[in-house]
């Protein structure tokens, strides 16, 4: 198993450009989520999904779109990048119901995005 794979690892965008951060997992996990991490702000939930075809907003959804057409993939789209979206982005997944079984959230290695 590769676990949770995020691409790219690093990206520089200009204001107004669009791009998609990719996230894929091969563990058949139903739940997937996107976080951004900024200095002093911890991890903030952007969007999450409890299964294919189902997505919901987290704490800071503005400026980001998601879709979940398959169980494996959960891409995050920036339609018009802004400097405020400069951050480290983490994708995470977990099998449904396993929180109660002391199963950890699996994180990708992160995407470091800079918007100039």
State yes or no: residue 42 binds another protein (CB under 8 A).
Answer: yes
Q: Which is nearer to another protein, 17 or 75 (CB)?
A: 75
104 binds another protein (CB under 8 A): yes
Single out the residue of 114, 89, 81 nearest to residue 34, CA to CA: 89
Distance between CA atoms of 39 and 61, rounded to whole angstroms?
Answer: 18
- Piece of the chain touching another protein by CB under 8 A; list 13-21, 42-50, 60-68, 73-81: 42-50
Q: Does 89 bind another protein (CB under 8 A)?
A: no
Whether residue 46 contacts residue 58, with contact meaning beta carbons closer than 8 Å, is answered with yes
Residue whose structure tokens are 């002093």: 40
What token pair was written down for 113? 């995005």
Q: List interacting residues with another protein (CB under 8 A).
A: 31, 33, 35, 40-45, 48, 50, 58-59, 90, 92, 97, 99-100, 102, 104-105, 107-110
């Amino acid at each position: 198993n590769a676990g949770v794979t995020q691409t790219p690892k690093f990206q520089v965008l200009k204001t107004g450009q669009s791009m998609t951060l990719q996230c894929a997992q091969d563990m058949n996990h139903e739940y997937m989520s996107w976080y951004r991490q900024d200095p002093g702000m911890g991890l903030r939930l952007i969007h999450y999904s409890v299964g294919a075809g189902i997505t919901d907003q987290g704490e800071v959804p503005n400026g980001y779109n998601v879709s979940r057409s398959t169980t494996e993939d959960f891409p995050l789209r920036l339609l018009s990048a802004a400097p405020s979206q400069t951050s480290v982005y983490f994708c995470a997944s977990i099998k449904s119901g396993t929180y109660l079984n002391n199963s950890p959230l699996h994180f990708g290695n992160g995407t470091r995005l800079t918007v100039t």
